[in-house]
């Protein structure tokens, strides 16, 4: 099978290679084999290829294949599988090696695609909605029952737009931050009920303070990190919480510069990887939510472009393009 693989950490465009890899093992009891048709490029996928910021560049004896989410068609099923059948369209997460043409996965990580849902939307059906739920729960915990202003960075991203839609639905006083005037104007048109501010404006911090008032923000949802962290912490009210869930920015901020102790601030890391710790019943409810959201609001699952696996370098460049709207997909034939 074709797969995009790497044998050492490093810049994704340099260490990734398209190659022929052995097919995954045939499905055993409780498993299915899926021919993958479409899979998204998430920031976390690229972060996994590149390794921890400032960490050692590891080499691997066996090539690794990125990706945890995708959609495809069931090819074969293992013993005892009753709810899935060959030829059925499915989405999956978290299943390693999604950037290959075939994966073998346990059935509890594979979800039937709702009738009428496009392949492109189905490929995005799980990770982003589950990330949304994880972030909303973290915000609720941080608020301690007292709702207050919430600021989010990267508001024009796929997850950011889901957060905005949820804020309007649930009455969350959200302030959106984007890094350019064009992105800010687009987001204002799409979510007119929410203030949107461009961090390219010299007075963007003052604009945020004007919206939050003297009390400041209760929570900051940050997917950027890096050198922006200190400025975001300064927007928090005393006792506020900075929830970090990504590293899209560059640079760094010393922890001691955040005045955590005198201001009683909390910094909390949130990851989609924590979702697996939920009970099977809770995960089932979350997946049902994701499927409903994809079915009722497919416009929130915007696709920027699709590229064949062979064109992965162009796809990665597109995924990193400033001002990009939507998620970039890697595709392969269904047969």
**More confident call, 145 vs 223:** 223
% of the chain with per-residue pLDDT over 70: 98
**What pLDDT score was predicted for residue 124?**
97
Q: Is the pLDDT of residue 174 over 70?
A: yes
**Local confidence band at 250 (pLDDT 50, 70, 90 cut-offs):** low
> Going along 115-254, which residue ranges are E strands?
150-152, 174-178, 196-198, 217-222, 236-244
* Average pLDDT of span 268-297: 95
Per-residue pLDDT tens for 40-61?
999 999 999 998 766 677 899 9
**What pLDDT score was predicted for residue 39?**
98
**Local confidence band at 175 (pLDDT 50, 70, 90 cut-offs):** very high
Residue 143: CA count within 13 A, CB half-sphere: 18
Q: Are 245 and 222 in contact (CB under 8 A)?
A: yes
CA distance 249 to 232: 13
* Average pLDDT of span 141-148: 88
CA distance 311 to 66: 15
* Closest listed residue to residue 293, CA positions, set 84, 121, 120: 121
**What pLDDT score was predicted for residue 55?**
65
**What pLDDT score was predicted for residue 105?**
98
**What pLDDT score was predicted for residue 279?**
95
Angle at 190 (CA atoms; ends 187, 191), nearest 5 degrees: 80
Domains, in order of start, for the chain: 2-125+301-331 (3.90.180.10), 128-273 (3.40.50.720)
Q: What is the distance of C-alpha 107 from the center of its chain?
A: 22
| Minimum mean pLDDT range among 94-108, 114-128, 310-324 | 310-324
* Average pLDDT of span 130-158: 93
Q: Is the pLDDT of residue 252 over 80?
A: no
Q: Is the pLDDT of residue 214 over 80?
A: no
Per-residue pLDDT tens for 25-40?
999 999 999 999 999 9
Q: What is the distance of C-alpha 44 from the center of its chain?
A: 7
**What pLDDT score was predicted for residue 69?**
98
Q: Is the pLDDT of residue 254 over 80?
A: no
């Amino acid at each position: 099978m074709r797969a995009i693989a790497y044998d050492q950490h490093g810049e994704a465009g340099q260490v990734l290679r398209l190659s022929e890899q052995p097919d995954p093992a045939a499905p055993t009891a409780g498993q299915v084999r899926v021919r993958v048709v479409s899979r998204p490029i998430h920031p976390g996928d690229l972060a996994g290829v590149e390794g921890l910021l400032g960490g050692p560049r590891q080499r691997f004896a066996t090539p690794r294949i990125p990706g945890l989410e995708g959609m495809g068609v069931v090819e074969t099923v293992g013993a005892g599988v009753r709810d899935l059948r060959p030829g059925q369209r499915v989405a999956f997460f978290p299943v390693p090696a999604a950037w290959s043409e075939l994966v073998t996965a346990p059935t509890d990580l594979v979800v039937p695609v709702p009738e009428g849902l496009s392949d492109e939307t189905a490929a995005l059906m799980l990770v982003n909605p589950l990330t949304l739920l994880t972030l909303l729960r973290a915000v609720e915990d941080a608020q301690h029952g007292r709702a207050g202003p919430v600021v989010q960075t990267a508001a024009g991203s796929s997850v950011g737009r889901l957060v905005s839609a949820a804020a309007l639905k649930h009455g969350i006083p959200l302030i959106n931050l984007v890094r350019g005037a064009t992105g800010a104007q687009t987001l204002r048109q799409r979510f007119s009920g929410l203030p949107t501010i461009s961090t390219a404006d010299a007075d963007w911090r003052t604009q945020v303070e004007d919206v939050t008032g003297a009390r400041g923000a209760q929570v900051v949802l940050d997917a950027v990190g890096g050198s922006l962290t200190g400025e975001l912490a300064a927007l928090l009210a005393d006792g506020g919480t900075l929830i970090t869930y990504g590293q899209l920015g560059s640079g760094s901020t010393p922890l001691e510069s955040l005045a955590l102790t005198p201001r009683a601030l909390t910094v909390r890391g949130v990851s989609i990887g924590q979702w697996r710790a939920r009970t099977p019943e809770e995960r089932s409810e979350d997946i049902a939510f994701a499927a409903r959201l994809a079915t009722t609001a497919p416009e929130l699952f915007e696709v920027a472009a699709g590229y064949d696996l062979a064109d992965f370098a162009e796809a990665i460049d597109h995924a990193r393009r400033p001002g990009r709207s939507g998620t970039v997909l890697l595709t392969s034939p269904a047969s």
